[in-house]
Structure 1
């Protein structure tokens, strides 16, 4: 802390009663780095999720990872590795299982996904409730962003790096799949890579959000910034940048508000994201008060 204070910039931050906790306390610095990693990773995934009209699937998948994380907890306690691997396995199982059901039966994909995720959610809550206690259940459902340690931050940073590298590699096929998936399947072998690669990115980012914000809040930092940014721009590049910036601003604001007000951090972060969404809904250039939807609209690259 002495070294931090020796810098004029850091000394100003420490003297600032509002921003000072972000650099004064180790747990606040860890939470800040976790929020930054999540914002850089989850927000761009949320943009493609929105453009593919799969936002509700993100919510379903956030619940679907719970039984895997719960089984990891049952085997190894609050082990980062066990809960991460369990969550990824459960999420992929639900995603692939619902896809197979929709492709081989009369059931639509949204209905099969709803059935799988409801079963997963009930199983996960049952496991944690029976074998754990109320504190463990709250940890799983609402996260512990203020208790992120070095291992958790390493995991979040690794997922962020993998996500950004994958989105860079898959950018063109992902855009084409958002616009016309049938055309992509007819002209390129990248269609299944883009589809299943994106599902994998969705699952690992929900697992990352699960460790910081909990199962019930993880999808918030993914969907809300993307939806909010859509009220400000319809071009894909600015949409990605705006969603990421909104996620950063709202998550850090929520972190500080929860510290000063002594409120639970995860819900406050999501409420900050929700407040930005509502303001943009009414006052954004493409919001309700300033924009009338044209007869047809298209994504602009």
Structure 2
């Protein structure tokens, strides 16, 4: 009985195997990005960028259908346009950068929804907003895997300046000029991975596979490398259980994955050994001098 519930969907149906492979690829790319977003206190920036890419990704979707290259190109253009415009406004006026970014991403979200509503159908709108990982085809899966691989390779190159800047940005500026290029490259990786999750989870949920696993990892480790490993593992686990839940019930696959990740996050809040509620209420014995 347990085998039929947990393993039969993937052994019997090819589309479920594709979906699981996509979840693993997305987790490998989004997990480390989410950890650095959290360490750099940019979690809300990731959410804003997820909405900012919508117009470009929607235009690419309407022009080329489920063509991840077209959606990635459009999303990158829209995401960088919003980032540059919000930065320009914050430097030219007295408006704070977070307020400027919030204004532009809300306008971008409204423009994207309008484009899909006017030019597409209700099904297109639902697909853009919430995705459909069960409809993943081979070319899209290969593109997702390529973007995840590219993310891991680039992160390995800029890993040290990212870690140092997350801990002590002033020290990095005094000893190296790698901080600014690493930050720009990191922003590009955020957009790439958000668009990567566009087909699977939609623009409204793609950021969930970044932020929630990173939040889970934060309650189980203080070191960056273990946090990245825990984030990736929890994202894969959320994807696997979410796909099984979606297959056995009528819950859409994208929301099911994010709901499972949310439950894991709540469990970590309660039981996590680093700042969890229960460990703080009932601390273990400590060695006494």
TM-score range, shorter chain: over 0.9
For residue 174 of structure 2, what is the aligned residue in structure 1?
A: 186
For residue 296 of structure 1, what is the aligned residue in structure 2?
A: none
For 1:182 and 1:102, how far apart are their aligned partners in 2? 22
Q: Note if contact 1:102-1:109 (Cα within 8 Å) is conserved in structure 2.
A: yes
* Residue 290 of structure 1: how far off its partner (Å): 1.2
**Which of structures 1 and 2 has the larger relative contact order (alpha carbons within 8 angstroms, sep 6+)?**
2
1:58 pairs, out of 34, 43, 46, with 46
Equivalence map 1:37-52=2 (5 Å): 37-52=25-40
* Residue 78 of structure 1: how far off its partner (Å): 3.8
For 1:24 and 1:167, how far apart are their aligned partners in 2? 36
Q: What secondary structure is seen at the aligned counterpart in 2 of 1:176?
A: helix
1:246 pairs, out of 230, 234, 257, with 234
Q: Note if contact 2:55-2:115 (Cα within 8 Å) is conserved in structure 1.
A: yes
Q: Which runs of 4+ in 1 moved over 4 A?
A: none
**1:253-298 deviation digits (Å, cap 9, x = unpaired):** 1011110113200001000000000011011112122138xxxxxx
- Quote the RMSD (CA, aligned, Å): 1.6
Equivalence map 1:2-81=2 (5 Å): 16-81=4-69
Q: What secondary structure is seen at the aligned counterpart in 1 of 2:227?
A: helix
Q: Note if contact 1:95-1:199 (Cα within 8 Å) is conserved in structure 2.
A: no
Equivalence map 1:278-289=2 (5 Å): 278-286=266-274, 287-289=276-278
* Residue 16 of structure 1: how far off its partner (Å): 3.6
For 1:151 and 1:119, how far apart are their aligned partners in 2? 32
Query: Structure 2 stretches of 5 or more lacking a match?
Result: 282-289
The alignment's TM-score, normalised by the length of structure 1, stands at 0.89
For 2:99 and 2:125, how far apart are their aligned partners in 1? 27
Q: Note if contact 2:68-2:140 (Cα within 8 Å) is conserved in structure 1.
A: yes
For residue 4 of structure 1, what is the aligned residue in structure 2?
A: none
For residue 113 of structure 1, what is the aligned residue in structure 2?
A: 101
Residues 102, 183 of structure 1: alpha-carbon distance in 2 compared, 3 angstrom cutoff: farther
Q: Note if contact 2:57-2:70 (Cα within 8 Å) is conserved in structure 1.
A: yes
Equivalence map 1:128-147=2 (5 Å): 128-147=116-135
For 1:193 and 1:135, how far apart are their aligned partners in 2? 40
Q: Note if contact 1:38-1:209 (Cα within 8 Å) is conserved in structure 2.
A: yes
**1:131-175 deviation digits (Å, cap 9, x = unpaired):** 111000000000010001111111111111111011111111001
For residue 285 of structure 2, what is the aligned residue in structure 1?
A: none
For residue 92 of structure 1, what is the aligned residue in structure 2?
A: 80
For 1:107 and 1:182, how far apart are their aligned partners in 2? 24
For residue 207 of structure 1, what is the aligned residue in structure 2?
A: 195
For 2:33 and 2:108, how far apart are their aligned partners in 1? 23
